[in-house]
Structure 1
């Protein structure tokens, strides 16, 4: 006799802390653990509903009076590179891509430290040591890859990437801060679009886009961008149409948010 048993993960809310994207605001996250034999199914389902992975946790912003953060992904079939993006691809045509298992290396950590010190010295990851870095890379219960980009013998860019059933999720990426002329961050996204296209995967997930945040503004420059809004993915038509103002009714109550999350079913089990 076959029965389908639902996954019933427990959801929690973090304590408010300063927002890393918009000054003067507090962020709060709804999260659940990612573990067990159904981790891939849960990750796929929640990623399609605006969640992101960090090691063994899936999270989504749930700020009390702000809903500015929008999960963003590129529809590969609708992407057309701009003139600037074509120039970036040509400048980096000689880079070698290497896809490896999620193992941390000293070269990766050295590049990571240089990137943080130059770009995010006051960010939440600024004090991350080599052991915490290794945990970020290696603690994954799902199908993940480290995509390295080599300029000869030099490691110049890295992306920790999850392979979802409908796309690639760029969990975290970093690059050589001393080569701004190469636009390595843009190049990694362009290359992931090509990887997804070659694997017949329809989307590249980019994390959160935040109107009003200069840190996140580059994502809106990619055609085919979609944002998760109102419980569905919508094409990004005009970035200036989105607002980041606070409002006491911006976010549904936590219980209502959890009730509206669609959870996957376990695979049929014989009893």
Structure 2
């Protein structure tokens, strides 16, 4: 388990890729029950896996290897001048709070975000069951990093918590505040939280160089990409 893939694996059917046109996507899925715990999952993260809901998976596409896991070296990270400006500006408006449980105002904010930003995606229209099955997990502790303006919830970063790493699952925010670079601010807050908690890495999910909307993931340096079973500096 530490150096090799688990014995029990599944392979999904092929389906249309969500990010690149005219591509087919396929997933390698972990079926071994004892992998579904924080310690084993952290090892799988280091092998390029990720979770969606309760399921652990990794892209295993027949003719494409564009998806590359990205992780920030949190212990070495210092925000750039541009990132510091965004943080300083956000600090004038917002406060950061943390929660270990979902709150009632999360789902309305999620709906507003999906309706405004992802009308052409598979998550539209927003659905409560899909929201829960995508974001939440029964076998792993989750930290919800909240951005608030006075009493109003502005953003939530759903963040998996392991011994030595955080994994950024999804961030949704009020599109009315997009001009304050809320998406960038929330990643910076996840990195800051990792530093406060003594975590070595923040996993940002998969980077696809051909997909313009994913390029933000390589702006948080130092960072590494998982390529051919190795972590290489970006």
Q: What TM-score, normalized to structure 1?
A: 0.79
Query: Match of 1:31?
Result: 29
Task: Provide runs of 4+ in structure 1 moved above 6 Å.
Answer: none
1:133-152 maps to which residues of 2 (within 5 A)? 133-152=131-150
Higher normalized contact order (CA 8 Å, seq sep 6+, divided by chain length):
1
Distance 1:224 1:120, change over 3 A: same
Deviations 1:200-249 (A, max 9, x none): 1111110011101012011112211211111121110xxxxxxxxxxxxx
TM superposition shift of 1:38: 5.7
State the structure with more CA Rg.
1
Indicate conservation of the 8 Å contact 1:148/1:158, yes or no: yes
Indicate conservation of the 8 Å contact 2:75/2:199, yes or no: no
**RMSD after superposition:** 2.1
Q: Gaps spanning 5+ residues in structure 2: where?
A: none
Indicate conservation of the 8 Å contact 1:27/1:63, yes or no: yes
Which of 56-65 and 17-26 deviates more? 17-26
Distance 1:35 1:126, change over 3 A: farther
Q: Gaps spanning 5+ residues in structure 1: where?
A: 1-5, 237-271
Deviations 1:103-123 (A, max 9, x none): 252x21111111111211111
Distance 1:179 1:7, change over 3 A: closer
Query: Match of 1:120?
Result: 118
TM superposition shift of 1:149: 1.1
Query: Match of 1:60?
Result: 58
Indicate conservation of the 8 Å contact 2:52/2:135, yes or no: no
Distance 1:46 1:123, change over 3 A: same
1:130 aligned to which of 109, 128, 131: 128
1:22 aligned to which of 20, 26, 29: 20
Distance 2:6 2:229 in 1: 20
Deviations 1:165-186 (A, max 9, x none): 2211111111111222111110
